[in-house]
Structure 1
Amino acid sequence: MCWLHPRYADTVRLLDAELMRVTLRPRPDDQKLETVQALLLCAHWMPFDVYDTGRRYRSRFSEMGAWQCLGLAIRWATSLALERSCYLSFQQPQTATRLDVRRFRTMLYLVESDHYLALSARRPSYLNPTPLKEVLENFLHADFVQATDIRLASLFKVACGAHSTGCRPSTIESVEAFDKDVQLIEQQFLLNLGNRSIDTLSQHFPFTSLRWYRLSYVCAFLDATDITQRTGEALTWAIEWASQILFHLSRPRYTRVDNELPDNIQLEPDPSVVDVMSFAIDHYFVVIAYASFVLVNSWLSNLMDFNLRPHVTRSDGALSETASTSLLYRLVDVAARTLEAASPPEGHLARRYVPLLHGMAGIISSSETQIHNPNCESVSMGTGSLDLSEPLQSNLGGDLWEMWQQAGLEPIIWPGPLDGVYDARA
């Protein structure tokens, strides 16, 4: 039995028709806050398409689709003068109404989403967060504010930090300053929570959204910077933040000692994370896949070893390590099994990324056989290049990079064995 509502396909058809109407033939009564909110929902929770005579489902998520929905939301917010309304309403917060708070909350989410996607898709942001930032504290002390608004305000502050460079940092000092800002925002977020009971998303917030902002920001720098800076401190940060995102998926009882896990301990998905992921916004799955790709791509590019140690040129000692028990393999493996546990058998977006992540894990484990096989000519470790055709076919049963593209991800491009693949795809 399908996990979706029996009338789900009919509901989606009505939604698509309404979106088309609002886009092409809007009516005066569409000029309201709910239109912006609906478009924001469509950007973050895209529906499923039905195919094969109504028996199969597939998420239609893509970065481009999210970008288009967000653009429509920004268009309507501009038409409603929503930003100006929010700014004026909270000049005197004691007079703010429940509707004013809803407007401000929606605008916070819209601005944050604009910068979130700008970093993810390597595009410029559109909205200027400065006016809302000037009255943000007034909003947080107004009536009708919800507990989850603290988390949203923290994300908005991070977006403000990314806005200063147009979401495209050009210096290592910019990345370092951004990281310090995010650390302060995280500390303030935890301080504001105090001993109050918090929702599950707030429990995982510092290890998902905040780590992702750091990771995406430093990767934007690595994309654009001179090749000589791609193996320095910025790379170390990228490896650390990507690994933190994946490590957080495991059960809490696993703790780091000197930033390393005990050998040969398999990481198991944290049930509370699985519960969150089952109903998370689309980009949560992108974040996990992206973090995995950063680590695997860094390893393939010979920028780190199996256990995430950067700047290590592969040597006989490094090659003697066991790939299938390495920290890299265990992190990618727990990511794959977390998404597998979080998704229904079919249709759910997390399910699309499961073979992708299992394929990455398979490439890591299969490299051990190739490295120790003196007759294998498909791997050239001395030059940092690998011929991935056989591992991809055996572990994915298809084209890894085509699947990555279909999933809507924008991979980082660092020098190494994958450059030719990206150039050919373009």
Structure 2
Amino acid sequence: MNISFSPPFIDQNVINEVVDSLKSGWITSGPKVKELEKEVIRLTKSKTAICVNSWTSGAIMMLKWFGVKEGDEVIIPAYSYSATALCVMHCGATPVMVDISDDLTIDPQRIRQAITSKTKAIIAVDIAGWPCDYNMIKALLKGPKVRSLFVPDSEKQRKLGRILLISDAAHSIGATYMGHSAAVCCDITIFSFHAVKNITTGEGGCICLNLPGNFDHEEEYDFLKIFSLNGQNKDAYTKSKGGNWKYDILYKGLKINMPDVCAAIGLAQIKQYKNILLPARKTIATKYCDVFSSYSWFIPPSLEDFTRETSYHIFPLRIKNITEAQRDQIIEEIVSHGVIVNVHFIPMPMLTYFKKTGYNIADYPNSYKQYACEISLPIYPNLTNEDTDYVIDAVISAVQLQLKNNKLQQLLHVE
């Protein structure tokens, strides 16, 4: 049997939406994108939503919107995908990496230690779909000592009056916090609709705004839609209507709009998300936990507690008391059974570019500790019971074999 890691969910509903887009004669930004934005608002209860062509471009745009520039600092976790840091660098600012807590999310105490007068924003990452401790982070940012350090340099910064809180929610669409959508916890929440995500548009992302009441969300939406289209005041769909050919360039914008043909895929999926796709992921995650919990080597992932519930995007299996090399051997054994697994994530300070930039993994011991024992298992709606049974058997067999080999090596070493 061969089990893929994370194939896209393509059913007849998706095919119908895409065909409808193709037959309409309009495939770039248009009515499907608008409809997807409305569905994201309906799902998340956000004040507004702007679809873009990737999480990364959306994050760059929002940092620029806030006026983040050279000389500024943005605090991020060391344990994340590279885009979390690169979006900051593309604005000329410095990513200040901090360590994580045992639940894989950014450590609020480390945030406090890293804040300086140069700090303009924090990007908190919902790893595997598990929301960060947003109440603690927000309380920290609103405290008088931290507020006194904030030095606003732009109109938006003066209007907000504090450090901007951005959620890197690439993994966490559908996650909840305190009984509500986790998307409304931050000033800005950015989803990824990449091919492996819970909802996909092939490539794409969506920015949700939940700013304080002194911001006009309709005005911000209009600005960001123009900014995401090279600063052009009329999109192609509007221009296609008779007599609308004349346009103007209002800002030094970016070209990061989402096409309708891509939005069609996500539109079909999001309509099934709460009732079909998300529950299917939860069922698989629960099954994994139920079986693995009888083994002493299993470290349960954070799935649900009194305040939070994950989106079940990734099942981060962690194994007690193993080294990075032993973890890699376990992965090789699992793959030999035809099961494709992954690791989320290689901490950024371990990657060549960031090492050359001056980051050192020794400064982030918990990020390394969690990475070294983590294996991401397949978890997606099209996995059958037979598939998950096979994955479970392959994992148990591989881990038990590794532990047996470890004991033999220890005995030989003692002798």
* Same topology, TM > 0.5: no
Structure number with the higher strand fraction is 2
Query: What is the TM-score when the length of structure 2 is the normalising length?
Result: 0.26
Say which structure is richer in helix: 1
TM-score normalised by the chain length of structure 1? 0.26
